[in-house]
Each structure stands twice: as structure tokens, then as C-alpha cells.
Amino acid sequence: MNFSTPVKASRLNLSSLLADFTPNTKTWSRIKAALSVHRKGLGNDVHSGVWISNADLSDAEKVYAECGQQRPLPWEECILPQRMKQCLKIGEGTFGEVFSTNNESGDTVALKIIPVEGSEKVNGEDQKTFGEILHEIIISKELSSLKEKQHNQTHGFIGLKDLHCVQGCYPADFLKAWDTFDQQKGSENDRPAVAKSILHQVTAALAVAEQELHFEHRDLHWGNVLVKTTKQKTGSFLINGTTHSLETRGVLVRIIDYSLSRLEIDDLMVSCDISNDEELFMGQGDYQFEIYRLMRQENGNNWAAYHPHTNILWLHYLCSKLLSMKYRGSGGRTAKDMREELTGFYDNVLQYSSATEVLQSCPMFQ
């Protein structure tokens, strides 16, 4: 089954918490980028003696700056023709498509392509605005940088290798890959021990991001959890200065898609205000849609405030999906015990306040 966010989020409302704040150079560029996302016509604001002009750059120019560009570029300047020929479509979501290819080093990388501010609808939805893309760019960069932090560190979020703003029609090689895309269905999954490792890795990544960035994903459906095989026996993460390890069980997990996410960078808060997006809360037929309503119930429809229990709601959802899957070799005692452990996690995880508390206190991860 293909899970994706059901409808387009409303226009962003990025807020800042700048009381008694003197920005350094790195943070200042982020502040200007985020504040420019406010609706046009707000004029100039003064926060704690800092003069900020909302009119200095457009949202499009902010995106170009994040990409290291001055204008949109043609496709061939961003992706070499030989790399285009190697492209395979590997997924799709509400707002765009995901392809894979090889980079200059021969490593496999994912290409996420999101149409912006065009007139044609994508999967029945309006294309994203530059302001909405800017929100996701900022969050993607911050989460990608967690792999390099000294106090809270994780590789659990997809790494951002490069960023481009291109203009023009889809290249022929992409269209060919699009036409041959056929999502695999009905396959059996690995043993329940793998399911436990997936939950452990997702929980660890969320916990690190909570501690470092006051992060909520807010849209962690099954389609936003990438799983790949690995020969690594163990993985590691750093939380509050202490290194921890976990068993991979042969898989590595990477979290993606931050369209609805919320975090804080120093004293700057970046979030997506979906308070008026009623369609998002009207979905039926899957537990995923209930999670959106539960989040709104918990935060009182205030999407600027920090409520890490929303991460718990998504862990509960992910566990429900893992329990519903059919596993190879699931008849032995070890597999039965593991499924019982997953069931115990599902029954008890909602009592925790955050992914950090789950990681530290849940018996399944001790």
C-alpha cells in the first residue's frame, strides 16, 4: 500500500522567538530566510532591537540562496546526462517523485523532485510555493547536520547531499523511468526482529532530534521511513553527550519528508501552520488519518508550540503497521516472543511523553 500525506498543507506560518537574542552569522542567515516566508505585506518588524525587513528578498530568492544559485538552472547543469540515464523511479508522494541514480563517487543517491509554483496540479494538488519549499529546505539541512553534532548525533535522518532549483520540462530519461515504475506489492517482510530494529532506530533518531532541535516530525507515515539492507551488525547514536549502540538486524533506517515538521534552531522556531487545513483532518480508512486528528487534539490546534508526544503517536502508528505485516519464518518461538514484545510496545508506548523517554525507559530498548 502506498501511504502519503493526503492533502496539501496550508500556507506556512513561520514564527521566531527572538527575545534577548543576538544572532551569530550562521543563525542570522536562517532567521532572514525563515522570516521572509511570512505573507507579503507585513512590512518591517522590530524584535528585541533587531531590524528585520520582510521585503528585502522574495521567497524565490531565498530558495535560490539556499541552493547557492542566483536563478533557476537548466536540468543538464545540475544532473549530468549519464547520471540521468541511470535514473530509476523508486517512489512518489503527494507533491513529487523520487528517483535513484549514482553520484560522482558511484554511490547510490535519491533524487527528490518537487514541482514549485507551476499552474498544473500534481497528483490532484496545487504545487508547493517557494515559501513552503523554504520551510522544508531549512529543516532538511538541520536534520542532515545531526550526523555531525558533538552532543546529540544520529544518522537516522536522510542526508542532504545537494540542492538545486531547476527550470524546464522533465528530461526524457526521467519520463522513461516514470513510465516503467511499478511499485512492488504483496511481498513478505523479514523476521519480527527486523521490525524491532526499525522501531528502535526511528525512536533513537526522533529522540536525538528532540534533544537537539525540539523536533516533531508530524507526518511519519510508513512512506516516510526508508529501510535498506546493511552488513553492519550495530549502529550508534549520541544523545546528551553519551554514545549508545543498537542492533541493526541487517537493516538501516532513514527518516524523510519534513513538510509538516517543527523544530527550533537556536531561538528560531520553524513550523508549518496547518490549523486551517480542514481536509488534512478528514481522512478515513487508515490509522494514519486518525493521527492527524489526535495531534490537533493534543496541541489545541496550536502548531507553533512544542508537543513531543506527537512523535509518540507516530511510533504507535508505525508499530501498528509492523504488527500487521506478514513475516518470513514467523512460526518459531523466538519470532513469537518478538511479536509479543512488539504487541507490548504497542499497548504501552502512548503513556510516554516523548521519544526520548521511550528510548530511555521502554523495556524493549533496554
pLDDT tens track for 175-231:
888 887 754 433 445 567 889 999 999 999 999 999 999 999 999 999 899 888 899
The residue-averaged pLDDT of 44-51 equals 34
Q: CA torsion 94→95→101→105, rounded to 10°? A: -120
Q: Identify the pLDDT of residue 88.
A: 87
Q: Identify the pLDDT of residue 332.
A: 64
Q: Identify the pLDDT of residue 49.
A: 33
- Which parts of the chain are beta strand (E)? 44-47, 50-53, 88-92, 97-102, 108-113, 225-229, 234-239, 242-247, 251-255, 263-265, 268-270
Q: Could you tell me which CATH number the domain at 25-365 has?
A: 1.10.510.10
Q: Identify the pLDDT of residue 42.
A: 33
How many angstroms separate the CA atoms of 264 and 181, rounded?
Answer: 37
Whether the per-residue pLDDT at 48 is higher than 60: the answer is: no
- Mean of the per-residue pLDDT values of the chain: 82
Q: Which of 126-140, 167-181, 260-274, 328-342 has the lowest mean pLDDT?
A: 328-342
pLDDT tens track for 318-362:
999 999 987 766 556 677 888 899 999 999 999 999 999 999 999
More confident residue, 186 or 61: 61
Q: Identify the pLDDT of residue 347.
A: 98
Q: Name the pTM for this structure.
A: 0.80
pLDDT tens track for 139-170:
999 999 999 999 999 999 999 989 999 998 88
How many angstroms separate the CA atoms of 122 and 115, rounded?
Answer: 8
Query: How many alpha carbons lie under 13 Å from residue 134 in its C-beta half-sphere?
Result: 29
Length of the chain in residues, anyone? 366
How many angstroms separate the CA atoms of 132 and 13, rounded?
Answer: 9
Percentage of residues of the chain with pLDDT beyond 70: 80
The residue-averaged pLDDT of 65-84 equals 90
| CB of 117 closer than 8 Å to CB of 127 | yes
What does the domain layout of the chain look like in residue ranges?
Answer: 25-365
More confident residue, 3 or 97: 97
Q: DSSP secondary-structure letter at 107?
A: -
β-bridge partners, 47: 50
- Which position among 59, 190, 219, 277 bears the catalytic label? 219
Residue 62, annotated as binding a ligand: no
How many angstroms separate the CA atoms of 222 and 314, rounded?
Answer: 9
Whether the per-residue pLDDT at 248 is higher than 60: the answer is: yes
CA 250 to mean position of chain CA atoms = 23
Q: Which residue has the cell 504497542?
A: 346
The residue-averaged pLDDT of 63-86 equals 90
How many angstroms separate the CA atoms of 312 and 318, rounded?
Answer: 10
**55: helix, coil or strand?**
coil
Reference 343, options 329, 324, 365; nearest CA is 324
How many angstroms separate the CA atoms of 186 and 34, rounded?
Answer: 42
pLDDT tens track for 234-247:
999 999 999 999 99
Whether the per-residue pLDDT at 11 is higher than 60: the answer is: no
How many angstroms separate the CA atoms of 254 and 226, rounded?
Answer: 5
Reference 72, options 60, 80, 87, 83; nearest CA is 60
Residue 52 φ then ψ, to 5°: -125, 125
| CB of 180 closer than 8 Å to CB of 89 | yes
Asked if 107 is an active-site residue, the reply is: no
* CA max distance for the chain: 66
**Opening angle at CA 190, ends 180 and 207, nearest 5:** 95
Q: Identify the pLDDT of residue 70.
A: 92
Q: Which of 34-43, 102-111, 219-228 has the lowest mean pLDDT?
A: 34-43
Q: Identify the pLDDT of residue 106.
A: 81
